[in-house]
Amino acid sequence: MTLKEKKERKEEIITTKNMFQVLEEYGVVVKRRMCRCMFHHEKNPSMKVFKDGVQCFVCGRNWNVFDVVMQLTGCDFNTAFDLLGGNDKPSWKSYVAAASAKRKRLQAKQVVTHQTKMFMEQRAIVLALKDIIDSETPYSDLWCECQNRVVYEEYKLDQMISEVSR
């Protein structure tokens, strides 16, 4: 493929590829045309999704389909070109890069899911101890034991929260 043909094919891909489909393909959640910026880590959606690109209000930058695929897969332009259908048959390297990036995203998602589960379990322990404290007679053996234990369990919960917020 000549350079001129490649440029024409690039422009064709930019105009025909739907950004919503590309983001969905790579596991990015889009709600009401907004998503979390994948170029810097944040908690709230700050990236507006358009049919032909995205714009982040925090970064102030705009990206087209190629920029997004290169960032999500960690690949170069030629690999992104292959993945978006620039060539009739993408290379093996393109498939490997896409699979590796997908695996990393899934692992990161599993870590977040595990942290959320652990947080919810710890919170349930604290709430259960507080319920026991409310139902017991003050200064009874069980009441005192739960008072001491709830302090420790709240400390563990605070540690989990500070770890996640870093």
Q: What is the pLDDT of residues 117-133, one digit of tens each?
A: 999 999 999 999 999 99
**Domain stop point among 90, 124, 143:** 90
Handedness of CA 56, 81, 101, 21 (dihedral sign): positive
Q: What letter does residue 137 receive in the DSSP assignment?
A: P
Q: Are residues 125 and 86 in the same domain?
A: no
Q: Are residues 82 and 131 in the same domain?
A: no
Is residue 73, in this structure, part of any structural domain at all? yes
Structurally, the chain folds into a number of domains equal to 2
Q: Are residues 46 and 122 in the same domain?
A: no
**Domain stop point among 90, 122, 143:** 90
Give the residue numbers spanning the domain of 161: 110-165
Residues 6+ positions from 125 with CB-CB distance below 8 Å = 153
Asked if 58 and 42 count as a contact pair (C-beta separation under 8 A), the reply is yes
Q: What is the domain-level CATH number for residue 83? A: 3.90.580.10
Is residue 67, in this structure, part of any structural domain at all? yes
Q: Are residues 19 and 48 in the same domain?
A: yes
Is residue 103, in this structure, part of any structural domain at all? no
* pLDDT confidence of residue 55: 92
* pLDDT confidence of residue 88: 67
Q: Are residues 86 and 126 in the same domain?
A: no
Q: Are residues 115 and 36 in the same domain?
A: no
Tell if the pTM clears 0.75, that is, is over it.
Answer: no
Q: Are residues 114 and 72 in the same domain?
A: no
Digit-coded pLDDT (tens) for 14-67: 888 889 988 888 888 899 999 988 777 777 888 999 988 999 998 888 889 998
Q: Are residues 115 and 151 in the same domain?
A: yes
Q: Are residues 14 and 82 in the same domain?
A: yes
- SS3 assignment, position 114: helix
Asked if 58 and 104 count as a contact pair (C-beta separation under 8 A), the reply is no
**Domain stop point among 61, 90, 119:** 90
* pLDDT confidence of residue 135: 96
Digit-coded pLDDT (tens) for 65-118: 998 888 888 788 888 888 888 776 667 777 777 778 778 878 887 888 898 899
